[in-house]
Structure 1
Amino acid sequence: MTTDPHPAEISLSPQTPTEFPAPLPTVTTTADATPASSPTRPTRADWGRIAIFGIPYAAFFLLGLVPASIIPQSWDLTTVNIAIDSVFLVMVLTFFWREFASTFSYLRTHPLLKIAVLFGLWFVVAVVQLVSRLAIYGINPPVAENQQLVIDALTSSRLALPFAFFVAVGVPLVEEIFYRHILIGKLSAYAPTWAVASISALLFAYMHCHQWQDMIAYLPISIVLTLVYVFSRKSVAYSWMFHALNNSIMVALIFAMQGA
């Protein structure tokens, strides 16, 4: 047995390239990473803006910590309402305008269809409210106290037109920011959406009620507003459009009845 003194050399020429295994994908993990579908938790600055607006709003409208008895009887109630609504509207526009405007992006696709859906939902809510009240009260159902106050202001006050603007446009924006954008959009980072949405719907209806019977008038619209917000991928602009549509139709009907 002999050994070849000139063993064959291993060629590394381009004709016989050497294959190397593909590198493994790099996996980066962070302790505070959140899924893309999870809502972003508010920053400290966000909580500051929420507190400056939300605490006074909740104290005034939900908790009743500012009783109406402190307002002198000589003051015009419509003027007081316009002044209070103006303060909260300025706060909303100052703190949340960019977040509100950005959610109009929901209308980039099929805008006419989505607007038509709002009119259809309004009709459904109106029918549900009417049938519910007729079933409970009969052919002459009472008007909810909050609605009666609005009717009185729009039909007898010299500030009816400015008040109509706030009822139709300004107040819906303030309420949508608080009840939908904050209570659902922000707090859903800490609790299930269905839970905070249910709380939001109940609080919105409760805020408009002066007696428990008024829930019949406000709970349907509250539930639909909540569903509109959630199913529009939390577009507060879209829920505001539905809210403003509902209130604008109400204001138009009141003015039409007054003219008639």
Structure 2
Amino acid sequence: MKLSNKGYRFKDIAWRDLLLIPIIYIVLLIFSMVGFGILNTHYTHPDKLMQSMMATVAQVMSYIIAILSFYLMHIKSFPKRFSNGINYVKKHWIFLIFMLLIALGASSLYEWLMQFLPKSLQYSETQNELALNQLFKTPLFLPIAFLLIVIVAPIVEELVFRHILIGELGKKFNFIFMGIISAVTFTLLHVSGAKSPFEFGAYFILAIILVVSYLKAKRNLAASMTIHILNNLISFIWTLFIIY
């Protein structure tokens, strides 16, 4: 696992990849404005579920455009990148499953320990999970929820938090240091509306596993992306089981 950033120069960083971040936010803003404009035109007082569904559609569209943008930025090298990723997963699938099990086990242990906290600091589900659960209330909307939670969100989050922050910026700012930054910012994104400070730990555990897996794979994005997708798939299936 090569963690040294010696030999890299600023010109070695794929600066164009950083454009994904403003692309995501600008496209999300545009689709949100258009979507909520249409919603408000047809409904005087749209309820929270309608608003949540519209926000989800806007998020899915912005993520799809971000993925397509990344593909177009690397259209010549993408087939090789994709092939290398598939080959890594085939060769190291036991390691990936092992890391996933560590993440699930550590998260379960953490949630069990939370019951010993004072009532004011406890939580049954994170605010992020409660928000996502709204998407499961309409069966017809489940395909969109699946697309967001299991497919496009993990891909985009890995592109931003692992590829850009660690894989690219780590070339000059140290891979381990940017790994820490990646884990913290990834966690903060998911607990922005947290009511308990201990919600941070629930996502930080997964973030650490994703960072370690990515670095262990010599910054092959397929490693952390596979774990992230499988983790979200399990969560999606578990939520379906609970609700239905």
TM-score by length of 2: 0.74
2:94 aligned to 113, 131, 134, which one?
A: 113
Q: CA deviation at 1:226?
A: 0.9
Q: Residue type matched to 2:115 in 1?
A: L
Q: Please identify which structure carries the higher helix content.
A: 2
| 1:46 is the counterpart of 2:27 | no
Gaps of 5+ in 2: 41-50
Flag the 1:89–1:155 CA change in 2: closer, same or farther, 3 A.
farther
Q: CA deviation at 1:167?
A: 0.7
Q: Which residue of structure 2 aligns with residue 168 of structure 1?
A: 150
Q: Residue type matched to 1:135 in 2?
A: F
| 1:251 is the counterpart of 2:219 | no
Flag the 1:59–1:202 CA change in 2: closer, same or farther, 3 A.
farther
79-88 vs 183-192, greater mean Cα deviation: 79-88
Q: Which residue of structure 2 aligns with residue 6 of structure 1?
A: none
Q: CA deviation at 1:197?
A: 0.8
Corresponding pairs, count? 218
| 1:123 is the counterpart of 2:104 | yes
Q: CA deviation at 1:249?
A: 0.4
2:167 aligned to 164, 177, 185, which one?
A: 185
Rounded to whole Å, the distance in 1 between the matches of 2:116 and 2:25 is: 33
Q: CA deviation at 1:248?
A: 0.4
Q: Secondary structure at the match of 1:143?
A: coil
Post-superposition CA distance 1:64-110 (Å, at most 9, x none): x99x799446363332232223222322333357275233443454x
Q: Which residue of structure 2 aligns with residue 21 of structure 1?
A: none
Q: Which residue of structure 2 aligns with residue 154 of structure 1?
A: 136
Contact 1:225/1:239 (8 A) holds in 2: yes
Q: Which residue of structure 1 aligns with residue 209 of structure 2?
A: 224
CA RMSD of aligned residues (A): 3.3
Q: Residue type matched to 1:84 in 2?
A: S
**1:4-15, aligned counterparts within 5 Å?**
none
Contact 1:118/1:242 (8 A) holds in 2: yes
Q: Secondary structure at the match of 2:173?
A: coil
Q: Residue type matched to 1:223 in 2?
A: I
| 1:233 is the counterpart of 2:214 | no
Rounded to whole Å, the distance in 2 between the matches of 1:96 and 1:145 is: 36
Q: CA deviation at 1:112?
A: 4.1
| 1:55 is the counterpart of 2:36 | no
Post-superposition CA distance 1:206-254 (Å, at most 9, x none): 1111236331321111111111111221121010001001100010011
Contact 2:56/2:148 (8 A) holds in 1: no
Rounded to whole Å, the distance in 2 between the matches of 1:142 and 1:242 is: 24
Q: Which structure has the bigger radius of gyration?
A: 1
| 1:85 is the counterpart of 2:71 | no
Contact 2:99/2:209 (8 A) holds in 1: no
Q: Secondary structure at the match of 1:158?
A: helix
Q: Which residue of structure 1 aligns with residue 115 of structure 2?
A: 134
Flag the 1:196–1:117 CA change in 2: closer, same or farther, 3 A.
same
